[in-house]
Amino acid sequence: FHTVINIDRKRILQGVDRSSLLASEWANNNVNLEIINESTIKISSNASQIGKISETQQIDAIQGEKQLNISFDGRFMIDALKAIKEETVTLS
């Protein structure tokens, strides 16, 4: 299976940044990204001592597999998104 998501770079950067604030208390700064439907993703994180954060964001387009739930180090995603100058990014 293969999933391709197109989303506004600034919007996802801000969402991952917010989730990373909580994730910094957690091992590996884990941020979760989940496809909710064909137009929405959920970005979330939690820390047992502090609480959790979750937000949904509109995506521009999705192709391929519509079911995806991944965790990643938010710091790395933030660094990558800051280095990209395009308005729209493709996550694949």
9-47 pLDDT per residue, tens: 999 999 999 998 876 655 567 899 999 999 999 999 987
N- to C-terminal Cα distance for the chain?
11
The answer to pTM > 0.85 is yes
Total count of domains within the chain: 1
Predicted pLDDT of residue 26:
54
Predicted pLDDT of residue 30:
87
Distance CA 11, CA 79 (A): 14
Whether pLDDT at 79 is above 80: yes
CATH number reported for the structural domain that contains residue 74 in this entry: 3.10.150.10
5-14 pLDDT per residue, tens: 999 999 999 9
Q: If DSSP codes are grouped into helix, strand and coil, which group holds residue 87? A: coil
Look up the domain containing 9 and give its range: 3-91
Task: Give the strand pairing for 40-47 and 88-91.
Answer: unpaired
